[in-house]
Amino acid sequence: MILSGGPASAFAEGARRAPPEIFDMGKPLLGICYGMQTMVAQLGGAVAQAARGEYGRARIESCADSELLGARSVAREVWMSHADRVTELPPGFKALAASDNAPFAAVADEARGFFGLQFHPEVTQTEGGSEVLSNFVHGVCGCAREWTPANIVARALDEIREQTRGEGVILGLSGGVDSSVAAALLQRAIGAQLTCIFVDTGLLRMNEGDLVMQTFAEHLGVRVRRVDAADEFFARLKGVTEPERKRKIIGNLFIEIFEREAARVEDAKWLAQGTIYPDVIESAGDSGGGSGQATLIKSHHNVGGLPQRMRLKLLEPLRDLFKDEVRAVGRELGLPESLIARHPFPGPGLAVRILGEVRREFAGVLRRADAIFMEELQNHKMHSHVSQAFAVFLPVKSVGVTGDKRAYEHVIALRAVETTDFMTADWARLPHALLASASARICNEVPGVSRVVYDISAKPPATIEWE
């Protein structure tokens, strides 16, 4: 069992506790951050507020050999995010590693198989973090390695056939990796029962609509209906600047259009969605199926009230998967690399990358700038080395010179991040030559832009998207 982290304080009133019986089951336990603090507090140790919190990178050094962290005296860079810390260990526990600010950065009662980590092994920034998790799961717990793409696909095909039992399924295809992989999976499982609806919101990336139609309708033989709804989206977004309102408007209009189109599909009983695990967690405060405990960060429009309203049953074949696993499944299903390797794209599309009011002309400028940035990433062979990259349109004007003339035009920000889980991310250290050519080309080739900046914020505290 793994007790995860969380935003609460382990000694606050009403703080959540692990069910006490898990400590008597004779099974291995791994507590991470809050999970370790509550384990320590429940087993007779002490947790207190640290003089200063520890957020971001830290260096830890192991002070004992262990199955979890390996040999003693090994230093590694880890990601910390905590205000409280363990000050006293429960009986039977010892320290495995320390950082400057946390003398108990890793602890264990090895006889009982209980381990605690103050740092986060699950985030990209922790060096060898997945090895630590693997040491726990495969080493300490002795679990087999069965979570492979082939097994995931085989299980999903069975589950989809079992669940739908010959009934019709509708899927909203967005052009993104998730809904594309969901479509390919459903096509393989129950192709004859599937109808996809592709709503072109006018907020898609360059040539995205055509690529979707080519891949799915032409190559895979999927039944796809394409709806051109750009006018409706721009009309509804006119004058709206607040990010959450923009998201809600887009989500609602998308639902409206989708319902309209879906009503024309006869005998549909299921609505399939390309929801993936991070959507579920980050929408925990929404009506989606989250625990209601994680703090709401942004409302994601793909986990919502659509199925109830449409009286459709919900089918979410990717709900348990992280992005890298979704890609592995897509490859297993034989989807083209050009589609699988595409960077993820948010449901509300370019609307969350045009800060403030969304206008058709801004979307046109942004699409061109974004396409140039993608081309330059490809030219410099960096596209597959970053997890997500895109351009953002800033509705501020700055002064420039083009030719001999003074220009007073908009600003484009470039964002590129490295992450595996999209829950945390670091900005990509792109080569200067790439940034230089992207900037020069955008200023020269995209009318309406006089300046390009590069975003150097990590998540947290920033998010990946700007809105």
Q: Are 302 and 344 in contact (CB under 8 A)?
A: no
Q: 280-319 mask for ligand XMP (x: CB under 6 A)?
A: -----------------xx-xxx-----------------
CA angle 281, 282, 287 (to 5 degrees): 85
Q: Are 278 and 323 in contact (CB under 8 A)?
A: yes
Q: Output 298 or 319, the one with its CB closest to ligand XMP.
A: 298
**Residue 465 within binding range of ligand XMP, rule CB under 6 A:** yes
Hey, CA dihedral for 339, 180, 130, 429, is it positive or negative?
positive
Residues near 163 by Cβ (< 8 Å), separated by ≥ 6? Answer: 270, 315
Shortest distance, CB of residue 274 to ligand XMP, whole angstroms?
Answer: 8
Q: Output 172 or 209, the one with its CB closest to ligand XMP.
A: 172
**Residue 463 within binding range of ligand XMP, rule CB under 6 A:** yes
Shortest distance, CB of residue 167 to ligand XMP, whole angstroms?
Answer: 26
Decide the pairing of beta strands 405-418 and 388-402.
antiparallel
Shortest distance, CB of residue 394 to ligand XMP, whole angstroms?
Answer: 16
Stretch that binds ligand XMP, among 23-31, 237-245, 260-268, 339-347 (CB under 6 A): 339-347
- Tokens 């800060």 belong to 355
Residues near 114 by Cβ (< 8 Å), separated by ≥ 6? Answer: 23, 28, 29, 31, 39, 43, 93, 108
Which of 285, 344, 356, 448 forms a contact with ligand XMP (CB under 6 A)?
Answer: 344
Decide the pairing of beta strands 168-173 and 194-200.
parallel
Shortest distance, CB of residue 386 to ligand XMP, whole angstroms?
Answer: 12
Shortest distance, CB of residue 344 to ligand XMP, whole angstroms?
Answer: 4
Stretch that binds ligand XMP, among 9-17, 99-107, 342-350, 441-449 (CB under 6 A): 342-350
Q: How many CB atoms lie within 10 A of CB 431?
A: 12
Shortest distance, CB of residue 210 to ligand XMP, whole angstroms?
Answer: 21
The count of chain residues that interact with ligand XMP, using the rule CB under 6 A, is: 15
Shortest distance, CB of residue 275 to ligand XMP, whole angstroms?
Answer: 8
**Residue 348 within binding range of ligand XMP, rule CB under 6 A:** yes
Say whether 383 is catalytic.
Answer: no
**Residue 124 within binding range of ligand XMP, rule CB under 6 A:** no
* Residues of span 384-423 touching ligand XMP by CB under 6 A: 388, 422
Residues near 421 by Cβ (< 8 Å), separated by ≥ 6? Answer: 122, 123, 124, 278, 322, 323, 324
Q: Are 90 and 45 in contact (CB under 8 A)?
A: yes
**Residue 126 within binding range of ligand XMP, rule CB under 6 A:** no
**Residue 349 within binding range of ligand XMP, rule CB under 6 A:** no
Q: Output 90 or 347, the one with its CB closest to ligand XMP.
A: 347
Q: Output 106 or 366, the one with its CB closest to ligand XMP.
A: 366
Q: Which residues pair with 196 in a beta bridge?
A: 171, 224
Stretch that binds ligand XMP, among 143-151, 263-271, 341-349, 391-399 (CB under 6 A): 341-349
* Residues of span 177-206 touching ligand XMP by CB under 6 A: none
Q: What share of the chain is helix, strand, coil (3-state, %, to 5)?
A: 35, 25, 40
Q: Output 286 or 409, the one with its CB closest to ligand XMP.
A: 286
Catalytic residue among 54, 82, 122, 300: 122
Q: Are 297 and 282 in contact (CB under 8 A)?
A: yes
Catalytic residue among 54, 82, 120, 208: 120
CA angle 313, 318, 319 (to 5 degrees): 70
- Distances from the Cα of 274 to the Cαs of 79, 83, 178, in angstroms? 30, 36, 5
Say whether 219 is catalytic.
Answer: no
Say whether 282 is catalytic.
Answer: no
Q: Tokens standing for 407?
A: 């220009």
Active-site positions? 33, 120, 122
Interacting residues with ligand XMP (CB under 6 A): 297-298, 300-302, 344, 346-348, 388, 422, 459, 463-465
